């Protein structure tokens, strides 16, 4: 609840929270574009990986941090965790630790309600049974009784996992199953409740009724079969077992109302009973052996002391999960956050941002890619466009003197692996690629055999199918290779792709926005840019690529302004109409909104249109024909320079947010970004209010240098680190796609559950030109990932974003091996995964871990990223100094008129 909601009670109180410290910092966010480039203005068509490409919808939660928003959850103190009456959470490993109710407890035959708190881990076997009533006379038969659990609801069987509740009475012909309305969130506490009243089944998640069915009726079983019924939690002992925590399980003999369920959810285990006879079980797991037996020869689940906060603290905790909308990416897409950036000028204070133009000359310091006049004219127009929005650009020029580089064609949107791949790729169709090594040439001349390899570069032989004149056309002693070498495997070829150029230059992207230049076979392609959430945004592979013809020339200076808009998180104004995949797309924009389309409520929906007026009525694919008051004069449209002249207030708010969230290190000021949310009242008494405020939007809690270990420490001194080194014994294909390096760093897959070259896969060992490429060997394929800092881990998170649907009978990963410093490696065994939900594994390891190995026999498996999290109070984070917060009050505090300086990591203050 926002602070101003309480203003009738608080006529005099206004609180400001400011984050203080040498730096609040920068977080690298995951990228989305399949390559790093985004398609921009004046293009008639789109190419894969362009900013026109729809971005994935899936949320990817990290332990303690969400990839899209800094999701910091409160960690309870030891005193709170062991407080009397709180009860325990128990952790099920998914192996042999299921529990069954002792025979002396009578399970309801008809009406019932089951309630519990659960924290499921990511990646389960579908279905995973959390609790169920089974018929042991027909052992483990799931169609006699009821089940509560998690299962994938998509046809592919390994995506879209949700909570489900199924039930079949002994007299019914078939089972009825209902599912929740959204995917479950791994590693987060959720309250689940199911009810049955003899006529209706209902499923509740966090107090909300999410599903209902009337297909079953009558009692679940008759008195004659009572002895056959057994209630189990944690699974069914037949491999459909649950992995995660359970707390406060309650079973009633009657269907509870939604209001009662919500009251019980808020009571945190303290029951108020009107009729105790209706209560069958109230299990706090303080002494589980009193009512429960283990299954077969299994063990009791482990007690977990890191669960939900205690009763007093839980009632007044702040939910800091600032989720983006389904169409968004990061915390800067959260409606409340961007609204505050829009509403309060203090979040849009002047910012000076460094950018660097990379200009390539020949060895004699002549023939620059762009002239000094172009650079300065563009700089002038750039600052004229952004100055009124409190953004100033500081220019530096990086000159490179290299004739070999200067004389080679740099292709903006052609991946080298596509040249000569036996298909005509339009983006690679250029004279200096030999028209895609001849595959875009409709009529190729015949090359007689005597000319092949005769010591002369014969143009009619310079094609892929003649091996580029048997090498003559790439021999510098015979010909000018800068004009004739088309062979993509030759180091002397006449062209480079943008990634190769960036690798050669290797310019740090963490201090400046780098501006590169490249050409394109598509003359309308004026430039491409890296999204701020791309994991390469702050590396040498990030930045903006411009066609030099569209840079610093009159009538074309808005191209760079448009591209910088993309780098600062702005979409095309026509995203919600022309860049959606279907009419069910979450980004479809029917009216201006902060949650659909370009995520700006002050740009009306519009199709892609190049002219300086509203588009003519047309037959839009989703039924809309007329578009009026369209933002054709916006820099993020495709209109020409003489039309475009402005950004909107919502766009400006987004750019300032991304400058705070991602690009703090590009700015000349090192002051930490603000907290763009009002503090909340979390407790209210007769003479006091307790306020709590959100963390800095970067999610950093410690003063640190970018790149230092403190850069990786989160609330509770938990060290989070992605893999930084990779290897695999399986060789890579010549293209380099699916290489081990693609599994380093944070996730950046464009579309979960679809193949992506931005992952590691055994496909890396397959040469696409050969027939019948070998699958994984019998012993399986292996990926090894290593981390910068060895540590005793608390959890492991793995993004497995694709594997073959037909292979789902076997676990996609057949073993995970933790590599320890002592050499006593730990096997975690096989793991089932979902392609749109990260696999999260709680670890019980005492050794320091420095790496992890994944083994699979699934040749299409794709691993995007791996994250290792330390236990709280990691020694590597001990030296990190916590941020300080200044609390200002109006009227001022009598004892501190200039505000209070607080270093309390709870971000909480009681005002009396």
**Strand 815-820 and strand 839-842: pairing?**
unpaired
- Looking up tokens 């760079």 gives 560
Burial class (CB in 10 A: 0-12, 13-18, 19+), 121: buried
Peptide bond just before 891 cis, omega within 30 deg: yes
Do the Cβ atoms of 512 and 404 come closer than 8 Å?
no
Q: How far is CA 655 from the centre of its chain?
A: 20
**Strand 513-517 and strand 351-361: pairing?**
parallel
Residue 562 has phi, psi (to 5 degrees) of: -60, -45
Rounded distance between C-alpha atoms, residue 854 and residue 471, angstroms: 41
Beta carbons within 10 angstroms of residue 370's beta carbon: 21
Interior angle at CA 339, CA 335 and CA 386, nearest 5: 115
Beta bridge partners of 798: 839, 866
Rounded distance between C-alpha atoms, residue 419 and residue 734, angstroms: 12
Q: Give the DSSP H or E segment for 564.
A: helix 558-567
Rounded distance between C-alpha atoms, residue 806 and residue 666, angstroms: 47
- Cβ neighbors of 699 (< 8 A, separation 6 or more) are 27, 65, 70, 72, 714
| Torsional class of 790: left (φ above 0), alpha (ψ -120 to 50), beta (otherwise) | beta
Q: How far is CA 518 from the centre of its chain?
A: 30
Q: Catalogue the active-site residues.
A: 563
Q: DSSP state, 728?
A: -
Token pair for residue 140? 């483990």
In 3D, which of 354, 423, 386, 890 has the Cα closest to residue 663? 354
Do the Cβ atoms of 719 and 704 come closer than 8 Å?
no
* Residues in the chain, total: 912
Token pair for residue 591? 């009216």
Do the Cβ atoms of 361 and 399 come closer than 8 Å?
yes
Beta bridge partners of 232: 100, 132
Beta carbons within 10 angstroms of residue 353's beta carbon: 20
- Cβ neighbors of 843 (< 8 A, separation 6 or more) are 793, 794, 795, 796, 818
Token pair for residue 61? 């939660």
- Looking up tokens 């299409």 gives 860
Token pair for residue 799? 């993004």
Q: Give the CB-side neighbour count of residue 842, counting CA atoms within 13 A.
A: 18
Rounded distance between C-alpha atoms, residue 40 and residue 52, angstroms: 8
In 3D, which of 98, 96, 107, 135 has the Cα closest to residue 235? 98
Q: DSSP state, 483?
A: H
Rounded distance between C-alpha atoms, residue 631 and residue 610, angstroms: 11
């Amino acid at each position: 609840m926002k602070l101003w909601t309480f203003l009738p009670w608080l006529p005099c109180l206004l609180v400001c929270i400011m984050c203080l410290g040498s730096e609040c910092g920068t977080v690298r966010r995951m990228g989305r574009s399949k390559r790093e480039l985004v398609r921009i203005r004046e293009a008639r068509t789109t190419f894969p990986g362009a900013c026109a490409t729809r971005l994935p919808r899936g949320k990817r939660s990290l332990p303690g941090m969400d990839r899209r928003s800094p999701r910091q959850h409160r960690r309870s103190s030891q005193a709170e965790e062991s407080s009397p009456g709180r009860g325990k959470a128990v952790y099920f490993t998914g192996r042999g630790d299921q529990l069954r109710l002792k025979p002396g407890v009578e399970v309801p035959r008809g009406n019932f309600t089951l309630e519990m708190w659960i924290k499921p881990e990511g990646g389960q076997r579908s279905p995973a049974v959390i609790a169920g009533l089974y018929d042991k006379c027909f052992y483990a038969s799931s169609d006699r009784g009821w089940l509560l659990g998690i299962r994938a609801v998509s046809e592919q069987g390994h995506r879209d996992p949700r909570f489900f509740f199924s039930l079949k009475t002994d007299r019914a012909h078939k089972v009825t199953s209902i599912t929740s309305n959204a995917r479950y969130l791994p590693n987060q506490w959720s309250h689940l409740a199911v009810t049955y009243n003899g006529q209706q089944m209902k499923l509740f998640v966090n107090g909300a009724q999410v599903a209902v069915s009337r297909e079953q009726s009558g009692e679940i079983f008759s008195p004659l079969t009572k002895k056959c019924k057994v209630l189990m939690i944690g699974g069914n002992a037949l491999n459909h077992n649950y992995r995660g925590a359970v707390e406060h399980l309650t079973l009633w003999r009657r269907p509870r109302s939604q209001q009662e369920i919500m009251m019980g959810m808020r009571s945190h285990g303290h029951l108020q009973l009107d009729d105790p006879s209706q209560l069958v079980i109230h299990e706090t797991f303080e002494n589980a052996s009193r009512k429960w037996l283990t299954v077969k020869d299994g063990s009791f689940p482990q007690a977990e002391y890191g669960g939900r906060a205690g009763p007093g603290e839980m009632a007044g905790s702040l939910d800091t999960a600032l989720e983006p909308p389904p169409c968004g990416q990061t915390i800067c897409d959260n409606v409340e956050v961007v609204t505050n950036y829009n509403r309060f000028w203090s979040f849009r204070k002047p910012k000076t941002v460094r950018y660097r133009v990379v200009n390539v000359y020949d060895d004699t310091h002549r023939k620059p890619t762009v002239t000094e006049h172009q650079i300065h004219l563009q700089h002038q127009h750039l600052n004229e466009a952004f100055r009124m929005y409190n953004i100033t650009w500081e220019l530096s020029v990086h000159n490179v003197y290299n004739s070999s580089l200067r004389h080679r064609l740099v292709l903006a949107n052609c991946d080298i692996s596509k040249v000569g791949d036996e298909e005509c790729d339009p983006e690679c169709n250029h004279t200096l690629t030999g028209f895609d090594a001849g595959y875009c040439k409709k009529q190729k001349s015949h090359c007689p055999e005597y000319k092949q390899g005769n010591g002369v570069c014969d143009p009619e032989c310079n094609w892929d199918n003649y091996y580029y004149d048997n090498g003559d056309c790439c021999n510098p002693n015979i010909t000018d290779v800068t004009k004739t070498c088309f062979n993509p495997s030759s180091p002397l070829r006449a062209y480079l792709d943008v990634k190769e150029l960036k690798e050669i230059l290797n310019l740090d992207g963490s201090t400046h926005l780098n501006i590169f230049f490249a050409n394109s076979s598509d003359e309308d392609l004026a430039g491409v840019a890296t999204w701020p959430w791309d994991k390469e945004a702050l590396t040498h592979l990030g930045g903006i690529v411009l066609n030099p013809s569209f840079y610093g020339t009159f009538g074309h200076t808005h191209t760079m302004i448009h591209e910088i808009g993309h780098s600062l998180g702005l979409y095309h104004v026509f995203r919600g109409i022309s860049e959606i995949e279907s009419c069910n797309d979450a980004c479809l924009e029917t009216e201006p909104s902060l949650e659909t389309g370009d995520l700006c409520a002050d740009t009306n929906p519009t199709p892609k249109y190049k002219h300086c007026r509203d588009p003519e009525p047309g037959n839009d694919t989703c039924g809309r024909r007329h578009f009026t008051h369209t933002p054709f004069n916006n820099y993020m449209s495709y209109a020409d320079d003489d039309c475009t002249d402005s950004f909107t207030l919502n766009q400006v708010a987004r750019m300032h947010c991304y400058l705070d969230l991602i690009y703090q290190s590009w700015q000349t000021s090192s002051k930490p970004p603000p907290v763009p949310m009002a503090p909340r009242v979390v407790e209210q008494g007769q003479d006091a209010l307790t306020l709590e405020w959100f963390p800095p939007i970067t999610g950093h809690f410690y003063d640190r240098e970018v790149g230092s270990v403190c850069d990786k420490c989160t609330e509770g001194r938990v060290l989070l680190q992605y893999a930084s080194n990779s290897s695999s014994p399986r060789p890579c294909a010549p293209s380099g796609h699916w290489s081990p390096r693609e599994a380093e760093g944070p996730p950046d897959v464009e579309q979960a559950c679809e193949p992506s070259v931005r992952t590691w896969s055994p496909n890396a060992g397959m040469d696409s030109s050969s027939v019948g490429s070998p699958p994984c060997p019998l012993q399986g394929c292996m990926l090894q990932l290593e981390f910068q800092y060895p540590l005793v881990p608390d959890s492991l998170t793995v993004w497995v974003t694709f594997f073959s649907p037909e292979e789902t009978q076997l676990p996609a990963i057949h073993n995970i091996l933790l590599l320890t410093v002592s050499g006593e490696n730990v096997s975690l065994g096989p793991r089932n995964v979902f392609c749109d939900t990260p696999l999260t594994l709680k670890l019980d390891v005492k050794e320091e871990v420095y790496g992890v190995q994944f083994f699979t026999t699934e040749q299409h498996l794709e691993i995007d990223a791996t994250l290792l999290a330390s236990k709280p109070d990691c020694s590597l984070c001990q030296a990190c100094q916590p941020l300080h917060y200044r609390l200002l009050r109006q009227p001022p505090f009598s004892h501190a008129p200039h505000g209070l300086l607080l270093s309390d990591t709870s971000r909480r203050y009681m005002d009396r």
